[in-house]
Amino acid sequence: MTSPIQHCKDCVDLLGEYIEGVLPPDRAKALEDHLSTCPPCITFVRTYRATRRLCRHALATEMPQELMSSLSTFLGKHVPGFTCSKPDSAAVVAEGAADTGPKKV
């Protein structure tokens, strides 16, 4: 039997694994038991989840098409079995231009 979580610090130490879903079930149960009786920890968990969600959203950026085409061309040439998920004419153009020398990026 896993010991109950007595201190909020223990809750904070386990939170990352809990949110990721990799905390062993017995420790997750102990954490949930603590959360069921500790309003400050409940607030902390909600804030932690919201912060992760906001950061993930803020850091998500679209890769520029030119970079995507260049990367697909490079991977197609150097990674056996790599296939681009959707063919585009920029990759063909980049392949044909590869013999003309280095490009400024």
> Domain residues for 92?
65-98
Number of structural domains the chain divides into: 2
Supply the pLDDT for residue 6.
79
Q: Which residues have C-beta within 8 Å of that of residue 90, sequence separation ≥ 6?
A: 65, 66, 69
Q: What is the pTM of this model?
A: 0.49
pLDDT tens profile 10-56: 888 888 888 888 999 999 999 999 999 999 999 988 998 898 888 88
Residue holding tokens 């069921």? 36
Q: Looking at the structure, tell me whether residues 25 and 39 fall in a common domain.
A: yes
Amino acid present at 9: K
Residue 34 lies in a domain: yes
The pLDDT-based confidence of 85 (bands split at 50, 70, 90) is: low
Average pLDDT, the chain: 78
The residue count of the chain comes to: 105
Q: Looking at the structure, tell me whether residues 28 and 52 fall in a common domain.
A: yes
98: which 2 tokens? 């590869």
